[in-house]
Amino acid sequence: LPQAATSAAPPSATETTVIEVDGMTCNSCVQSIEGRIGEMAGVCSIKVSLSEGKATVQHDASVMSAGALCEHIEDMGFDATLPQAATSAAPPSATETTVIEVDGMTCNSCVQSIEGRIGEMAGVCSIKVSLSEGKATVQHDASVMSAGALCEHIEDMGFDA
């Protein structure tokens, strides 16, 4: 049975992605993530470590991208980010990190809304929004998405940026 689970994709198409997961408090969180993500198309295997706050996923990148894995984990109520070295949406020379002050957020739904919408935009490699600090940290390709445009998109969602 373990061999069947790891042969869902040809070895050449399978990659291993490590995702930082925040918000897990117990083994039930671990089992929930492993259960839901492990059943998704393109996912060969997943191992979540509560103590390290990480999920290691073997997946077929042509079916399930690393970014999509993060979004699915975030949809479960956890914060999921790719380590900077794993963000390959833009060449390192064109990628910059912008910190934006965001006013008007009242709850985690606001955070998820901003991360979800901005994270899907062209040129955005990753986004992490902190409700307590009132800021968004965005890694993006400045030649595709400028810092000013990021602010405008957040403001279009009804927040002050």
Residues 99-117 have a mean pLDDT of 94
Give percent above pLDDT 70 in the chain. Answer: 85
Beta strands in the chain (DSSP E): 14-22, 43-49, 54-60, 79-81, 95-101, 124-130, 135-141
Out of 47-51, 66-70, 89-93, 134-138, pick the least confident: 89-93
Contacts (Cβ under 8 Å, ≥6 apart) of 145: 121, 122, 123, 124
Q: Would you tell me the crossing angle of helices 108-119 and 147-156 to the nearest 10 degrees?
A: 130
Q: Which two tokens stand for residue 75?
A: 């949809």
Check residue 28 and report its DSSP letter: H
pTM of the model: 0.47
| pLDDT, tens digit (0-9, with 9 covering 90-100), for 126-140 | 899 999 999 999 988
Query: What end-to-end distance do the CA atoms of the chain give, in Å?
Result: 51
Query: Could you tell me if 48 and 54 are in contact, meaning their C-beta atoms sit under 8 angstroms apart?
Result: yes
Query: How many CA atoms does the CB half-sphere of 10 hold within 13 Å?
Result: 3
